Amino acid sequence: MSSSQQPNLRLERFKAVAGNQNSILLSVLIALAIVFTLAEPKFFSVATAGNILTDWGSIVLLAAGQTLVIISGGIDLSVGGTLAISGVTSAWVMSTVLGFDITTSGSDAYPPLLVGGLVAIGTGLLVGLINAILITKLRIVPFVATLSTMGATLGFAIIISNGMPIGGPNDFSLISPINPTWMPLSWAVIGVIIVVTAVGLFLHKSRFGLHTYAIGSNSFAARAAGINVERHLTKVYALAGALAGLAGFYVYLRLGAGSPSSGVMRELDAIAAVVIGGASLMGGIGRMMGTIIGALILFTVQSGLIMAGVAPDWKKVVVAVLIAAAVAAQTLRPQNRAR
């Protein structure tokens, strides 16, 4: 029987295909870094890398959840609002309820920060569950359901905070590069990398991930195969919400405050990262590694343009163009055109 040789062959083929997609994205990333360095030599520095990675940390958490949602055939427009309401709620609990203010710093801040982190994740989880109820119980299409929660979360974030950032305890060393001369990663970014890697492993290696792909690929077939589609989608939106809550806490660490405006338009960045990474908005297609590199490309472009002297107002335009380009590149790819 030749089947003893087949697994190796398959593995090779799989590596070739998966590697291909990622190496295209990596090449784009490297090419961008070279272009920006040629335009502005200061771009090539640990400081720039640190800035890009710090920006990346918040969006890649949103984008990781968004990847699951998009692969399942849905969309979550509420992640930016969820980030804001989670950061604000977390700050409010730490400062007003627990009574730790902005003067609590260093390791003294760890106990309240632990509570704050859990509150942020819990708040995000709650928003995710509300999305899930709107989508699976009330049968509202994801676009409209999450558009409503986006409005509601952004509104509540302002109501809770009276429109002003809420300061609280913090240890800024958590979010600063570990070593400014050679190590651009911060502990917070390392934490994000661990979380996103874990979510990626679940997506690609576990039953949970397989069912997510199956539902996005053909939800009737998934149900016919015995999958409880509603319950699974509930988990997907809840997880996306919890990750957005964690992103809210990350942004709190960055600002030392829960800011109601911190979530505005962040869903656009998250969707851009997922789409640049090669996921299909039709569902069933996407890879976590693509999203991770997609988010890096997004912030490399933004920070490169700013350093090259382009006015920051152009940022949103650039994100929009990147989304359009990525979707166009996807539909023009031969294997997708045939469908």
Write out the residues near another protein by the rule CB under 8 A: 3, 6-7, 10, 13-14, 202, 205-208, 210, 213-214, 216-218, 220-228, 284-285, 339
The per-residue DSSP string of 71-109 comes to HTT---TTHHHHHHHHHHHHHHIIIIIT---TT-BGGGG
Nearer to another protein, 109 or 243 (CB): 243
Nearer to another protein, 42 or 207 (CB): 207
Nearer to another protein, 7 or 309 (CB): 7
Q: How far is the CB of 107 from another protein (least distance, A)?
A: 33
Q: How far is the CB of 211 from another protein (least distance, A)?
A: 8
Instruction: Say if residues 258 and 87 touch (Cβ distance below 8 Å).
Output: yes
Nearer to another protein, 83 or 275 (CB): 275
The per-residue DSSP string of 208-231 comes to HHHHHHHHHH-HHHHHHTT--HHH
Q: How far is the CB of 208 from another protein (least distance, A)?
A: 6
Place of tokens 């996103």: 196
Nearer to another protein, 228 or 331 (CB): 228
Please report how many Cα atoms fall inside a 13 Å half-sphere around the Cα of residue 299, on the Cβ side: 20
Give the Cα separation of 244 and 155 in Å (integer): 17
Q: How far is the CB of 3 from another protein (least distance, A)?
A: 7
Q: How far is the CB of 196 from another protein (least distance, A)?
A: 17
Q: How far is CA 94 from CA 103, 180, 238, in A?
A: 12, 30, 24
Instruction: Say if residues 146 and 77 touch (Cβ distance below 8 Å).
Output: yes
